[in-house]
Structure 1
Amino acid sequence: MTGETTPLFNPRTQRWSDNFTWSSDATTVEGLTIIGRATIVCLRMNNPVILVARRRWTISGWHPPDD
């Protein structure tokens, strides 16, 4: 969005909860940092197909995962 180069989230060296959070309905991943936001966009973490799946998982009690 800004045209700046930003590293993506590295789960080996960074904590998920420092960079991301769940929306109030637990279907959308929201970026807390520039790294989180860039990762969400680049990996298409909120594409329509996964949003439908997460909604179903939430109804079933399988989502969101424990941190």
Structure 2
Amino acid sequence: MSGETIQLFNPRQQKWTDHFGWSADGTRLEGINAIGRTTIVKLRINNPVILIARKRWVISGWHPPLD
């Protein structure tokens, strides 16, 4: 958004909870900082197909993960 180059999240070097959280309904991954937001956009983590799947997972009690 700012035009600044931002690195993507690296799970080998960074802690997931420092960069991401789940929406109140558990279907959308939300970035809590620039690295998280950039990773979500670039990897299309909240694409329409996965949002439908996550909604079903929430209804089934499988999602979001507890840790």
Into which bin does the TM-score normalised by the smaller protein fall?
over 0.9
Partner of 1:37: 37
Identity of counterpart residues, as a percentage?
67
Q: TM-score, normalising length from structure 1?
A: 0.95
Shift of 1:3: 1.4
How many residue pairs get aligned? The number is 67
The RMSD of aligned alpha carbons is 0.7
Aligned mates of 2:13, 2:48 — CA distance in 1: 29
Q: Does 1:56 align with 2:56?
A: yes
Specify every segment of 5 or more residues in structure 1 that has no aligned partner in the other structure, as ranges.
none
Specify every segment of 5 or more residues in structure 2 that has no aligned partner in the other structure, as ranges.
none
Shift of 1:24: 0.2
